[in-house]
Amino acid sequence: MRQIGVWPRPTVPDALHPWLFGDPAQRSFALLDAARIRFLPERLRQSGLPHACLFDGTTAEDLADTAPWLVELADGNDFTRSLFTRGDAHRDLWDAEAGVFLRSPLPLHEVRAHLRKLTRLCDEEGEWFYLRFCDPLYARHLLTHGSEEMRARLLRSGPMMMRGPQDGQMLIWTPPAQPDDLAPRRALLLRVQDRQALKLARLESFTTRMIAWLTEAYGPLPEQIDTPHFVGQLVLHGQDQLGLTNERQVADYVAASWLLRTPAERVLDFTPIGHEIPQATLERIHDEAYEISRKSAHVRVS
């Protein structure tokens, strides 16, 4: 929400107030990614709100500026208000997309004790991963596409709310009707389904960044093209079918295809010239696509 010229300034949008503060038996929390909010530990100290890092000991000290932090929210508090306000990039934090929101009857230390067990998980092959479920994009995909066990554990403390993919959209997940019967001593495993959910989140993140870059650089695609679907399919095709191994190669391939309005290999020859390395081939394809598009007046020329 924007607060310019508004008085008294609401803490949260009217539509969210009942969920966050309507039931006095429930507490409201934000789980925030310090990597997305400058000086978050200091801002939390100044807020007057109860808060804690999900990491312990020297890890919490060393990684304080990139760690997940849990804070109990209060109606009327300036920091709470900043989480829901658009505006100044340093003061107002809505556009940072820096966290998810929870409701729970439990006190902060109990919610933290549960959530911190999920920050580092082992998969079925014995490999360990840090799980950044404080990122609303990754939390959304884990809750939507992850295993039932993952959803139950994420929601064990209570319902969770986060931003959706559309501007102004908020999504709410509630715990299962039947509480999960997993013994607390049993460690949660990162299942294949959860790994796939995280892959989808990374795909959406990369696709979103690509669309923003290409729209700014070359102008938007025609309205008849479903831009997110077009770019997402190109990213997957480049990785899975063309064997592109890093983001730079995929970016050049997607950019060339954006300029040509079709997968670039349908128009251009991807055969390396001489001893050309793969990255050089993709950069050349990108340049050739730009020239074709410029002559066809597809590309916006400044």
For the chain, what is the domain count? 2
In whole angstroms, give the CA distance from residue 101 to residue 189. 24
Instruction: State residue 234 phi and psi, 5-degree precision.
Output: -65, -40
Report pTM.
0.86
Instruction: Lay out the sheet containing 128-130: strands in order across.
Output: 128-130, 120-123, 189-190
137 belongs to a structural domain = yes
Mean pLDDT across 143-172: 94
Mean pLDDT across 253-265: 97
128 & 266 share domain: no
State residue 275's pLDDT score: 87
273 belongs to a structural domain = yes
For residue 108, pLDDT beyond 60: yes
80 & 180 share domain: yes
76 belongs to a structural domain = yes
108 belongs to a structural domain = yes
183 & 91 share domain: yes
244 & 180 share domain: no
11 belongs to a structural domain = no
152 & 64 share domain: yes
From 172, 191, 210, give the residue that closes a domain: 191
In whole angstroms, give the CA distance from residue 132 to residue 96. 15
**SS3 sequence, 42-79?**
HHHHHHCCCEEECCCHHHHHHCCCCCEEEEECCCCCHH
174 & 255 share domain: no
37 & 151 share domain: yes
259 belongs to a structural domain = yes
Poorest-pLDDT segment among 84-88, 176-180, 242-246, 292-296: 176-180
124 & 231 share domain: no
Tens digits of residue pLDDT in 194-228? 999 999 999 999 999 999 999 999 999 999 999 99
125 belongs to a structural domain = yes
Tens digits of residue pLDDT in 52-81? 999 999 999 999 999 999 999 999 999 999
61 & 175 share domain: yes
171 & 228 share domain: no
| In the chain, % of residues over pLDDT 90 | 84
63 & 154 share domain: yes
Largest CA distance in the chain: 71
Tens digits of residue pLDDT in 160-194? 999 998 888 999 999 987 655 544 557 899 999 99
From 191, 210, 232, give the residue that closes a domain: 191
Tens digits of residue pLDDT in 127-136? 999 999 999 9
106 & 243 share domain: no
State residue 185's pLDDT score: 55
7 belongs to a structural domain = no
From 147, 176, 191, give the residue that closes a domain: 191
Q: Are 250 and 239 in contact (CB under 8 A)?
A: yes
Among candidate residues 114, 12, 113, 107, the one with its CA nearest the CA of residue 50:
107
What is the span of the domain harbouring residue 251? 219-295
For residue 3, pLDDT beyond 90: no
